[in-house]
C-alpha cells in the first residue's frame, strides 16, 4: 500500500463514525478506476479527490485530496492541475487538501483556494509543487488534530451539522 493510501486510511478510520455510509463514499479512486467509473457514469469525472463522503446529517458531500509532502513539495498529476485549478473543467474539485510527511508523523491542512494559490506560483512548472518556502512556518499537527481541523472546517462551512447541545 502506498503512503498516500495509508494516510487516507488513517483519516478515514478517525472519521468513520461521523460519515453517512448510506450515501456515496469514495476512497482513493485513482487513475484507471476513476476513468472507468466516469465512463460508466458512476462518478462525475475522471479526476476525483481521494476522499469523498457526507457527514451524518449533512446534505452535501465534502471532497478531500491527500498528498505526501517530500522535501517541502507535493506531486500533482497533470490532470489534477488542469481539472482543479486555473479555471479547470473538473466537476469534483476538492474542498480541502491534506498533507503528511513520509513518516506519517506531521500533517497539514489547506483549503482549496489556498492550495491553488501555491499551484499558481508554479504555473510554468510541471514538477512537484513547493508547499513550504525556506524558513517558512510549517503549521503541522498530529493526525488527531488534523481530523479535528477537517471537522471544524466542515462545520463552519455547512458540510457537517453543528452538534446539538444536550440538556440533562
The pLDDT assigned to 30 comes to 73
Q: Is the pLDDT of residue 130 over 90?
A: no
Average pLDDT, the chain: 87
**Bigger pLDDT: 162 or 156?**
156
Nearest-angstrom CA–CA distance, 2 and 125 = 25
- Any domain includes 46: yes
Q: Is the pLDDT of residue 64 over 90?
A: yes
- Any domain includes 123: yes
Does an H or E element contain 116, and which? helix 112-120
- Any domain includes 162: no
Query: What is the secondary structure of 56-112 as a DSSP string?
Result: TT-SS-EEEEEEEEBTTEE---HHHHHHHSSS---SS--SEEEEEETTS--EEEEEH
CATH code for the domain of 130: 3.40.1350
The pLDDT assigned to 34 comes to 86
pLDDT category at 115 given cuts 50, 70, 90 is confident
pTM score above 0.85 = yes
pLDDT category at 124 given cuts 50, 70, 90 is low
Residues 6+ apart with CB under 8 A from 92: 43, 44, 45, 47, 48, 49, 52, 63
Strand 26-27 and strand 107-111: the pairing is unpaired
Q: Is the pLDDT of residue 9 over 90?
A: yes
Segments forming the whole domain that contains residue 7:
3-156
Residues 6+ apart with CB under 8 A from 40: none
Average of per-residue pLDDT across 70-86: 82
Average of per-residue pLDDT across 45-61: 94
The pLDDT assigned to 165 comes to 41
- Any domain includes 85: yes
Does an H or E element contain 26, and which? strand 26-27
Nearest-angstrom CA–CA distance, 97 and 162 = 22
The mean-pLDDT minimum among 69-78, 95-104, 139-148 falls in: 69-78
- Any domain includes 161: no
- Any domain includes 164: no
How many CB atoms are closer than 10 A to CB 59? 10
- Any domain includes 168: no
Count of domains for the chain: 1
pLDDT tens profile 82-107: 788 877 778 889 999 999 999 999 99
Alpha-carbon Rg for the chain in angstroms: 16
Amino acid at each position: 500500500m502506498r503512503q498516500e493510501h495509508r494516510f487516507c486510511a488513517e483519516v478515514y478510520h478517525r472519521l468513520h463514525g461521523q460519515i453517512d455510509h448510506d450515501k456515496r463514499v469514495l476512497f482513493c479512486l485513482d487513475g484507471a478506476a476513476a476513468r472507468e467509473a466516469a465512463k460508466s457514469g458512476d462518478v462525475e469525472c475522471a479526476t476525483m479527490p481521494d476522499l469523498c463522503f457526507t457527514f451524518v446529517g449533512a446534505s452535501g458531500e465534502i471532497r478531500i485530496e491527500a498528498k505526501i509532502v517530500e522535501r517541502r513539495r507535493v506531486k500533482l498529476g497533470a490532470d489534477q492541475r488542469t481539472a482543479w485549478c486555473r479555471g479547470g473543467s473538473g466537476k469534483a474539485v476538492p474542498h480541502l487538501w491534506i498533507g503528511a510527511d513520509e513518516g506519517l508523523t506531521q500533517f497539514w491542512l489547506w483549503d482549496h483556494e489556498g492550495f491553488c494559490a501555491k499551484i499558481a506560483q508554479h504555473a510554468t512548472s510541471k514538477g512537484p509543487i513547493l508547499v513550504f518556502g525556506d524558513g517558512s512556518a510549517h503549521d503541522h499537527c498530529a493526525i488527531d488534530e488534523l481530523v479535528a481541523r477537517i471537522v471544524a472546517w466542515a462545520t463552519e462551512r455547512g458540510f457537517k451539522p453543528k452538534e446539538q447541545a444536550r440538556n440533562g
